[in-house]
Amino acid sequence: MTQDKTTLANKQQASVSPAPPSYEEATADVPKMLASTSELCYNDGEMLTEFTWDDRNIRRVFIRKVYTILLIQLLVTLAIVSLFTFCNPIKDYIQTNPGWYWASYGVFFVTYLTLSCCSGLRRQFPWNLILLAIFTLSLSYMTGMLSSFYNTKSVIMCLGITAAVCLLVTILSFQTKIDVTSYQGVLLIFCMVLFISGLVLAVVLPFHYVPWLHTTYAVLGAILFTMFLAFDTQLLIGNKRYTVSPEDYIFATLSIYLDIIYIFSFLLQIFGTRRE
């Protein structure tokens, strides 16, 4: 009988809910929980910041890579232009054999379309660098041949003007708060004007109806590609409305290099003096 009473008392004691913890006991582990949670959030945020394309370190490395490749391209182009301008035997050979110019133009066109349209190929190493090297050599040959028809002083002067213009536009594109990437419609209209002017020039110029039309076309082209240089530079920076992915460093280099070459070509048509 006594054993049954003891068992019943134990069951009643077990059925009673335990007393709630005090305030000190309940809040004792809160700092540890907050510390562990904040550490987890910090680690997650650090991982996201490390691997997102908007990270400043990644963007800085991307810009450095683009301008390193661009500098090599410009040095190669400058060497070929200097060779074709100052070396008379080479100058005479390329001027008497225009077939090489059209061959280089074909190579330039094919490689340009390949690098612009095939995103997988321009991101695949080392084929992207090989295609970019072929593109650079072909465009450098075309630029060198164009320079060979102009006076040496004119070529040097246009090189200096191009360097000054590109440096100024690049600095302004990095410093200004104006978002040039949002003015795509203006660039499109300007391209259409230049295209129509080129068609009119191709028809009218052989008959010498408007002597100043060629200069006007060159001025429009120089202004347009100066605007494109600012546009592509801000795409490279990455803090505007439209940006270029760091994976497309070949495309970014290609765009800026092409803008600089076109600026030089149009300036040469404006200020250059042809050889007699």
* Rounded Cα gap, residues 45 and 67, in angstroms: 30
pTM over 0.85: no
- pLDDT, tens digit (0-9, with 9 covering 90-100), for 210-222: 667 778 888 888 9
- Cα angle 213, 221, 207 (rounded to 5 degrees) comes to 25
Quick check: 205 and 217 in contact, CB under 8 A? no
Residues with Cβ within 8 Å of 37's Cβ and at least 6 positions away in sequence, in order, are none
CB 232 within 8 A of CB 256: yes
Read off the tokens for 95: 């001027």
pLDDT tens track for 92-143: 888 888 888 899 999 999 998 888 888 777 788 888 889 999 999 999 999 9
Place of tokens 């052989």: 206
> Is the separation of the CB atoms in 174 and 237 below 8 Å?
yes
Q: Do 232 and 262 meet the contact criterion of CB atoms below 8 Å apart?
A: no
DSSP-derived 3-state class of residue 274: strand
Q: What is the C-alpha to C-alpha distance for residues 153 and 28, in angstroms, rounded to an integer? A: 83
